[in-house]
Amino acid sequence: MKTGKILSFILATVCILAANSLFAQFRKIPAEVTDAFYAKYPVAKKVEWKDKLSSFVATFSLDGESHEARFTNKGIWEQTETKLEESKIPSVVNDGFSKSKYSEWEVKYASEIKLPGDSVNYKMIVAKSNVEKMNLTFNEKGKLLRDSRTL
């Protein structure tokens, strides 16, 4: 009898979590968000939206490249991230990486992050023996701003 109650409780919990997840995915994108996006990127193609609860993320194609732009719920642009080939990482950022304690690690992914105020950061995901992975953020002068473990 007790097992039945436990299973019922687990099933009810799973249903509630699934319903919350579905609700979050189907929330309508506010007009101020889509208006701000198209004002910033009027010729964007293949636009797909993701609801991150505290913000909205648009993945889109522009000039043959894939981008990801983040906007607040009020339509304020926060950043746009663009994947970079390793050969396109600015030399000053590569220099900063080579002077960091991660210089022997392998670069797995790199991106340019445009921020408000014409500021640019660069993100690198680096790995050591495919076991440890770190997320590194550099400013446009090549200074390491932060490092954090990644899964």
Across the strands, what pairs with 74?
Answer: none
> What mean pLDDT is predicted for residues 107-120?
96
Q: Break the chain into its structural domains and give their ranges.
A: 85-151
Looking at the chain, the whole-number percentage of residues with pLDDT higher than 90 is 73
pLDDT value, residue 6: 53
Separation of alpha carbons 122 and 83, rounded Å: 10
Tell me if 84 sits within 8 A of 68, measured CB to CB.
Answer: no
Sorted by sequence, the CB contacts under 8 Å of residue 28 that are 6+ apart come out as none
Q: What is the CATH number of domain 85-151?
A: 3.10.450.360
Q: What is the mean pLDDT of residues 89-100?
A: 96
Q: Which of 126, 133, 123 is nearest to 106 (CA)?
A: 126
Q: Give the global pTM.
A: 0.76
* Averaged pLDDT, 35-39: 97
d(CA 109, CA 38): 28
Other residues' Cβ atoms within 10 Å of the Cβ of residue 96:
21
Mean pLDDT of 102-123: 96
DSSP state of 88: G
pLDDT band at 119 (very low <50, low <70, confident <90, very high): very high
Lowest-confidence region among 4-8, 40-44, 87-91: 4-8
Mean of the pLDDT values across residues 102-130?
A: 94
- The tokens for 24 are 């979050």
Give the pLDDT band of residue 130 (cuts 50, 70, 90): confident
3-class secondary-structure state, position 47: strand
| DSSP for residue 86 | G
| Coil, helix or strand at residue 128 | strand
* Structure tokens, 35: 């208006």
Helices (H), 1-151: 2-26, 31-40, 91-98
Which pLDDT band holds residue 7 (cuts at 50, 70, 90)? very low
